[in-house]
Amino acid sequence: MAKVDYENEVARKRKPVYNKSWFIKAEELYHKHLKKGLKVADVGCGSAEFSEIMRDRCEWNGACFDISHMNAEKATEKGFVAEVLDLEQPHEKNHKKI
């Protein structure tokens, strides 16, 4: 199975879970070391769960990038600027704006 096909299959089945320990730890680190209103690039964003939590709790703002078209669409549905991005492809072929 190709990498993109696998990522699309995973995206179809993924359900958000917001009490994961790494979400909680990331939020703690953010509040301790960073400023509110940060602009970020979430590369390998998946379904944008992490970006959504950080936007809602920490006033994060940014763009999401993923190899899966379905994941990029999910990020767009959540209000993020999102692009399909494959870092293994030449620049002119590696992204598609959603």
Tell the CATH superfamily of the 3-13+36-97 domain. Vaccinia Virus protein VP39 (3.40.50.150)
pLDDT of residue 75: 94
Q: At what angle do helices 69-77 and 3-13 cross, to 10 degrees?
A: 40
21-76 pLDDT, tens digit per residue, is: 877 787 788 778 777 777 889 999 988 988 888 888 778 888 999 999 999 999 99
pTM of full prediction above 0.85: no
2 band by pLDDT with thresholds 50, 70 and 90: confident
Q: Are 8 and 29 in contact (CB under 8 A)?
A: no
Nearest of 21, 20, 16 to residue 46 by alpha carbon: 16
pLDDT of residue 44: 92
CA dihedral in degrees (76, 36, 58, 42; nearest 10)? 40
